[in-house]
A = this chain, B = another copy of it.
């Protein structure tokens, strides 16, 4: 079936710009809807090496909230994976309700490669295809949306791309000898691919073939198929066209007494390290956009450099409610390769987590060598919310300063880069933002009595933050107080701080 694809298809620049910005908007709305409806989504990419799978995933996740998706790559199985049944590494990484999981290569990889190198004969391929159909049917029966892309390029195009990657400093690491060899067997691979596509195109999880020569055309097609599939699935689930993009979270009735207390908050006069930050710092949009895009590109380069040199990093975001953590993280990650980082939102601990040492759940989320983990709130909860709200005893939170310093020292001694941001704003600016949320219908759900209650305790939090920064800002893991009165300034500052830290670490 692949021979029928017209690989000359192209999308013009202007047409692309128009289409992609519309599709991005649509996908962003659909992510909200997917979350509201609790639909798990699996999107997988197979196809030729150098066909643009990574690029497509990069493009897709750009508009998404990084707290709602994960990206996995399927490489040759590790020893641990070889020691488990074949489907283990995929089954243990299924999306939960409302989550998206993207796979760069997937459970098809092994079938395809073994078929090419002859370890799998025709009947072996039939059996493998049958198992995969069962696996996908089980997912689909359970409500998981399974979307499969095959990215197709010609032999000539592939050769051209592989050669150019070889000479690119940031791409070179992706190409090892075995890959090159494999490409010589284009025809064999083509046969195996055709067989696989035929065996595993099912009603519930059909393959979408994508002509992948022209980048713009390829991206638009992938976007269109994903958005259409999600929209049709959600509308079947009764999530109508009109509601898409309007978050369905219930708007909470605000406790009026708490709110009126919140309106009267005044900062106490005790001196704090926070007073040293100049909240008048601002950037105009022109400067912002220029600097942002330069820094994002630079961070992307550094991400690859870290990957190649196996340097892991941990980025901690803490800050006042409405200080703009979410938007800031989004800009930080926007140009990154999603296979290299993960955003971990930290909420109240589960029962199992409460049953262990409070650092246990963070240990489990640490990045492995070459990767980056961004914590949206972190282990500092112990000396912030848990202290202020009394969830931890005084004995517990007082000893946490030392525990955290030891923890971070262990990480940094072991080579992990540790960057920590406190997003700081004035109570007046926070109030402006709260009120803006109250006025904006589709943002109103973001504001709860909880936020007002925290605001009432501004001075308690201020004391806790001050002590936290004083006691846990170490030479190996210093705090950066980010003036967040102006969101544009704050985004550029976090980015440039991270860039500088990584440059220093890498010596580049």
Chain A residues engaging chain B, CB cutoff 8 angstroms:
40, 78-80, 82-88, 91-92, 94, 96-97, 131, 134-135, 138-139, 141-142, 144, 310, 312, 350-352, 355-360, 363-364, 366, 368-370, 399, 403, 406, 410-411, 413-416
| A83 and B357 within 8 A (CB) | no
Q: Which residues of B contact A358 (CB under 8 A)?
A: 142
Does the CB pair B414–A94 fall under 8 Å? no
> Which residues of chain B have C-beta atoms less than 8 A from A40's C-beta?
356
- Asked whether, in the complex, the Cβ of B85 is within 8 Å of the Cβ of A403, the reply is no
Query: Which one, B78, B138, B350, contacts A79 given CB within 8 A?
Result: B78
A406 contacts B97, C-beta separation under 8 Å: no
Q: How many copies does the complex hold?
A: 2
- Quick one: closest B residue to A90, CB to CB? B363
Given known A352-B350, A356-B94, A357-B142, contact A80–B78 (CB-CB < 8 A): yes
Contact, CB under 8 Å: B406 / A357: no
Q: How far is the CB of A181 from chain B (nearest CB, A)?
A: 23
Q: Which residues of B contact A312 (CB under 8 A)?
A: 83
Note all chain B residues with C-beta closer than 8 A to A88. Answer: 363, 366
A to B CB contacts below 8 Å, 28 in the list: A40-B356, A80-B80, A83-B312, A83-B369, A84-B368, A84-B369, A85-B411, A85-B414, A85-B415, A86-B414, A87-B363, A87-B410, A91-B357, A91-B359, A91-B363, A92-B360, A92-B363, A94-B357, A94-B360, A96-B352, A97-B355, A97-B356, A131-B413, A134-B406, A135-B406, A138-B357, A139-B357, A350-B350
Q: With the chains together, A135 CA to B363 CA distance in Å?
A: 13
From residue A45, how far is it (CB to closest CB) to chain B in Å?
A: 22
**CB–CB A351/B350 < 8 A:** yes
Q: Nearest chain-B residue to A363 (Cβ)? A: B91
Q: In the bound complex, do residue A91 and residue B351 qualify as a contact, i.e. CB atoms below 8 Å apart?
A: no
Among B78, B85, B142, B355, contact of A410 (Cβ-Cβ < 8 Å): B85
Q: A134-B406, A350-B351, A410-B86 are in contact. Are A141 and B94 (CB under 8 A)?
A: no
Chain B: minimal CB distance from A125 (Å): 15
B410 and A368 within 8 A (CB): no
Q: Which residue of B lies closest to A143 (CB)?
A: B357
Please, how many angstroms separate the alpha-carbon atoms of A312 and B416 in the complex?
35
**Pair A92/B410 contact, Cβ less than 8 Å:** no
Contact for A80 among B82, B364, B368, B413, CB less than 8 A: B368
What is the distance, in angstroms, from A111's C-beta to the closest C-beta of chain B? 14
In the bound complex, residues from chain B placing their C-beta under 8 Å from that of A310 are: 83
When distances are taken between beta carbons in the complex, the residues of chain B under 8 Å from A411 are 85
Residues in B whose Cβ lies below 8 Å from that of A360: 91-92, 94
Q: Kindly list chain B residues whose C-beta atoms are within 8 Å of the C-beta of A350.
A: 350-352
Chain B residues with Cβ below 8 Å from A82 are: 369
Residue contact A406 to B138, C-beta cutoff 8 Å: yes
> A352: which B residues are within 8 A, CB to CB?
96, 350
When chains A and B are docked, how far (Å) is the Cα of A416 from the Cα of B138? 21
Q: Least Cβ distance of A367 to chain B in Å?
A: 8
Given the interface pairs A366-B88, A414-B85, the reply to whether A356 lies near B80 with Cβ below 8 Å is no
A399 touches B131 (CB 8 A): no
- Docked Cα-Cα span, A134 to B403, in Å, equals 8
